Chains A and B, each alone.
Chain A
């Protein structure tokens, strides 16, 4: 049981978290943008999240919080 939270207004949509996720459950929004206009990252299958925090470690903007 783990939870990934993206602080969407801090996300710049760079996609580094997408490549870092070992479970391949992080992707960038294709329709919704944040206020700055970025397609932000989100977890597509929270049940599969193992809370490894690799996405957060790769995030250059400290936009991801992990709970476990």
Chain B
């Protein structure tokens, strides 16, 4: 018998600190699998956010930089501009990317920075204990929206892929989910596509991954997947929002 599935090499052999059922681990693995398959771990520099995945530098085998909250795309810009031959990716949550780091996100996209952004949208601030995120759904109960998010008071959720797809510098934007095996397969394809886009020097790529937070949602891991399917996907439709490589192919 041969091993047909195991931990990718670009994911260091240490236990994750994440809560049981937290899908960060799945996305980490997918990124590492892509680094393995493309053979680029040794040429890659990753940038971690502030949030639950702040310690992703302990998990990814490539060189890693830990950025201030929200600033990962600016840090990645500094790396990529001075090392254009290296692969550079950020791994950011929704608070990091779409609240405190909105300016860095939008401007790295509009500059067409040739980087990959892996964006974990789980509609909540996990690390600080479950407060409202920019992507928290209307009506969703969090620590800071105890009666449910009221858009009249707290505004509406940000749809990041839709927003960034309006920018000329964005080369590739896709929203995926990790709630089921078919969706996980799609997610991996999207991550691979994002790194290929960087390899081909096409510009800014973002893969938004709908993810779960069983602990702060107050659900079991299995119930959390169901919530992702029933509530998140209808609000945040999956699919490719922008793909300039496809446009060129169609010409």
> Chain A interface (Cβ within 8 Å of chain B)?
1-3, 9-10, 12-16, 18-20, 38, 51, 53-54, 56-62, 64-68
12 A-B pairs within 8 Å (CB atoms) are namely A10-B15, A12-B21, A13-B20, A16-B221, A18-B222, A20-B180, A57-B181, A61-B16, A61-B25, A62-B6, A65-B6, A67-B4
Interface residue B147 (Cβ < 8 Å from any Cβ of A): no
Question: What CA separation (Å) do A38 and B213 show in the bound complex?
Answer: 18
Interface residue B153 (Cβ < 8 Å from any Cβ of A): no
* 8 A Cβ contacts from B5-30 to A: 5-7, 11, 15-16, 18-26, 29
Interface residue B246 (Cβ < 8 Å from any Cβ of A): no
> Chain B interface (Cβ within 8 Å of chain A)?
1-7, 11, 15-16, 18-26, 29, 180-181, 184-185, 214, 220-222, 225
A62 touches B4 (CB 8 A): no
Chain B residues contacting A60 (CB-CB under 8 Å) are: 16, 18, 21-26
B4 touches A68 (CB 8 A): yes
Query: Tally of A-B residue pairs with Cβ under 8 A?
Result: 78
B1 touches A3 (CB 8 A): yes
Chain A residues contacting B20 (CB-CB under 8 Å) are: 12-14, 38
Contact partner of B225 (CB less than 8 A), chosen from A16, A56, A66, is: A16
Kindly list the 3 A-B residue pairs having the minimum CB-CB distance in the complex, ordered from nearest: A60-B25, A14-B21, A12-B20
Q: How far does the Cβ of B213 sit from chain A's closest Cβ, in whole Å?
A: 12
Q: In the complex, which residue of chain B has the Cβ closest to the Cβ of A20?
A: B181
Chain B residues contacting A58 (CB-CB under 8 Å) are: 26, 180-181, 184
Contact partner of B5 (CB less than 8 A), chosen from A18, A20, A64, is: A64
Q: How far does the Cβ of A46 sit from chain B's closest Cβ, in whole Å?
A: 12
Given known pairs A10-B15, A14-B221, A54-B181, the reply for A65 and B5 (CB within 8 Å) is yes
Chain B residues contacting A51 (CB-CB under 8 Å) are: 4
Chain B residues contacting A16 (CB-CB under 8 Å) are: 21, 221-222, 225
A68 touches B15 (CB 8 A): no
Contact partner of A19 (CB less than 8 A), chosen from B1, B19, B225, is: B225
Q: How far does the Cβ of B178 sit from chain A's closest Cβ, in whole Å?
A: 9
Chain A residues contacting B184 (CB-CB under 8 Å) are: 57-58
B222 touches A19 (CB 8 A): yes
Q: In the complex, which residue of chain A has the Cβ closest to the Cβ of B30?
A: A57
Contact partner of B3 (CB less than 8 A), chosen from A10, A15, A18, A67, is: A67
B1 touches A68 (CB 8 A): yes
